[in-house]
Homo-oligomer: A and B are copies of this chain.
Amino acid sequence: MRMVRAAWIAALAAGITLPAVAQFARPEEAVKYRQATWSVLNLHFTRIGAMTRGRVPFDGRLALRDAEVVAALARLPASAFGPGTDLPNDHARPEIWAETQRFRELGDRMVAETTRLLTVAQTQDLDRLKAAYGAAANTCKECHDAYRSH
């Protein structure tokens, strides 16, 4: 089982991501898709946070499963921020489409840090998990501060 886990992490680290230009029939579909991926990602990420903050008992097996979902989902939303998907019923600021390079870099950092979170979750070491969780959470915050309206 440990080898299977390691191989999965290797697959993620090797960069199995979706193409940047994906096929959405309508802008509304892209917005719904990215909102749904953030929603699922956030729930699993928050569960890890509840453990690292001591709000629920640490369970390394559950943390690893949550980290697997987080790392897999973090790769999805980038493909749904194409041109023309700046809709008023979303939290995306228009700066996203004016600063595409910085936005993409922040997304890539999120992918890198959530992949690292998954690697660390494998160790079952709560102190290391706390640090990796904090680093991943910082990539959320940095991007939200710059590109999410409230």
Interface residues of A (CB under 8 A from B): 1, 3-5, 7-8, 10-11, 14, 16, 18-19, 23, 29, 32-33, 35-37, 39-40, 43, 47, 50, 56, 62, 65, 68-69, 72-73, 76
Contacts and interface: CB of A to CB of B under 8 A. Distances in A.
A56 B5 contact: no
Given A1-B14, A7-B4, A40 B47 contact: no
A36 B40 contact: yes
Contacts of A47: 23
10 tightest A-B contacts by CB? A7-B7, A36-B36, A36-B39, A8-B11, A4-B11, A36-B40, A72-B72, A8-B8, A33-B43, A4-B10
Contacts of A72: 69, 72
Given A7-B10, A8-B16, 19 more contacts: A1-B14, A4-B14, A7-B8, A7-B11, A8-B11, A19-B62, A23-B47, A23-B56, A29-B43, A32-B39, A33-B39, A33-B40, A35-B36, A36-B36, A36-B37, A37-B40, A40-B40, A40-B76, A72-B72
6 contacts: A4-B10, A16-B68, A36-B37, A36-B40, A37-B40, A40-B40
